[in-house]
Structure 1
Amino acid sequence: MIPFKAVAIDMDGTFLKDDKSYDKKLFSELLNKMKERNIHFIVASGNQFERTRLDFTEYWKDMSFVAENGMYLVDDGKDLSYEQLDRSLVEELVEFMAQRPELTPALCGKENAYLEKNSDSKFVKMMKYYLPKHKIVDSFEQLPDDVFFKFTVDVPKEKTLSTVDEINEKFAGRVFATSSGFGNFDLILPHVNKAVGLEKMLASWNLTLDDLVAFGDGGNDLEMLKAAGLSYAMENGSDEVKKVADKIAPNNNDSGALKVLADYLM
C-alpha cells in the first residue's frame, strides 16, 4: 500500500541535479502513475512560480505549486491563494536597505519580479535565471503596482548572519529574514512557510499533512519535512535537514527523489 496521497518536492538540490536538469523520461512515467492513483504532485519551492513552471513546460497544468516559500499557491493551472507583504512594510524595508549599500535586493511580485537598474551585474545575471519574469526599474522609491511576496537580498557572505539577525530583531513579528545560503537571504511573512502553504493546498482536496510525503535538502524545507506524514532528506542535504527527516533519499545528482518515488509507484 502506498503511504501517501500527495508528494511535495523542493527544486534546487532536491528534484533538480546541480546542472538544473532532471530525468524527464522517468518523471513523465511517474507523473502518469500518480495521476492513475489520484496522487497529487506538488512543487514546493522558494523560487518564482514562473521559474518552476518553465522547468515543467510539458507537465505544469497537471501539477500544483507552492511557490515563493508558501506565499503563492497554484493548482490546476489557476491561482488558489496568495499572501502579500503590506505596501507600507515594503516601503520601510526599501528605506532600511537603501541605508546599507552592501545589500542588493530583488522585489518579488505576483506579476513580475523587480530589479533596480544600478544593481550589481553578477546579482542581476543570477536573478534573471531565478526570476525569468522580471522588470528593471529605476529604483524602489517608486513602487510598481503589484502584489509583493518577498524580497530576495544579496549580501557579502561574512555579513549574512549578522544582517539576518538585525532584520529579525528590528522587524520582529512583521517580517522574517531566512538565509538560503551564505551570501543571500529572503524576507517573507513570519507566519508563512512551505508547510503552511502545503496545509492550505491539501485542505482544498480534503487531505491533511499526514497524507503527504515531502523531499527537501535545505533550511527552508525544515517546516515541510517536520510536518509531513513521511519525509525524506536528500543525501546531499544539510545535517539540520537530515535530523528532522524520517528517511534519507539518494543524492540529487542521482535522481534520488525520483528513484524513491519509483520504488513506491512502479
Structure 2
Amino acid sequence: MKKIVVLVVTVFLFVECSTVPITGRKRVNFVSDAQVLPASFAQYSNFLKENKVSTNRKMSNQIKEVGKNISAAVDRFMRANNMVAEANSYKWEFNLIEDKTVNAWCMPGGKVVFYTGIMPICANENGVAAVMGHEVAHAFAKHGQERMSQGQLQQIGGIAVALGTSGKSQETQQIWNMAFGIGSQLGMLKFSRTHEQEADRLGLVFMIMAGYDGREAAEVWVRMSEKAGGKKPPVILSTHPSNESRIQDLRNYLPTARKYAAQFNAQANNEIKK
C-alpha cells in the first residue's frame, strides 16, 4: 500500500492552497475562473430560456434591488483587498423563477436565481438579503471551483487505490475500493457542510455591509426548520448542517460579523473622503 500513500502525497504536494478572505479558511482549488465562468454563464442563459421567469414585479424588483446592494458591497470589498481582476470577472444578474421549490442559488461569476417557493421563508427584505448574502458568498468563496477540484482529487485517489491493490486478491481490492468510496463520500459531505457554514458567515457579513439587519439571517432558518417539521437526515449523511446548528452559529457569529462589517465600511468611507 506504499504506492497509494506516495501517489496521494505527491498529488497534494503539487496542489496549491489559497485562503478564503474574511474566514481565513485554507482551500484547495486548482480550477481557474477562465475554465469555469464561460460555461457558468452559458448554463445560466440556457436555464433562463428553459424556465419561467416570474411576472410578479414586486418580488422580482426586490430580488434585483437586494442583489444589487449586496453585490455592490462584495465588489467594494474585493476592490479594497487587491482583488480587482476577480471583481471585474463577475457578471452579476438576479432573477426570480416561478417554481414552488424552496431554493435559491448562485453560479460562479455571480449569476443568481431565487425560486418563488423560497419567498415565504424569506418573509421580508432582510430575509431576502440573508439568503442573497449566503448564495453570493458561495460564489465569492469559489465553493463551486473547490468542489470541482475535490472531485478531481477524489478520482486521483481512486486511481491510487486501484494501482496500490493491483497485485492483491479480488477480495482485498473490493475491500479497499469500498473503504475508499465510503470514506471519500463522507469526506465530500463534510466539505459541503463546511461550505454551507462558511457561506452563512460570509453572507451575514455581506448583508450587514450592505445595510441590512443581520438578525434576520437566523430567523430565516427558524422558518426553514418550522417548514421542515423536524424531518432531517443524520448530519453525517447530509450536505448541510442541521437547521438548529445553523441558527445557533448565525446568532453566535452576529457580533463578529457586525464588527467586521463596521470596520470595513468605516475604512471604505475614509478612503472616499481622501
Instruction: Report the TM-score, using the length of structure 2 for normalisation.
Output: 0.30
- Higher-Rg structure is 2
Q: Which has the higher helix share?
A: 2
The higher-RCO structure (CA 8 Å, 6+ apart) is 1
Q: Which has the higher strand share?
A: 1
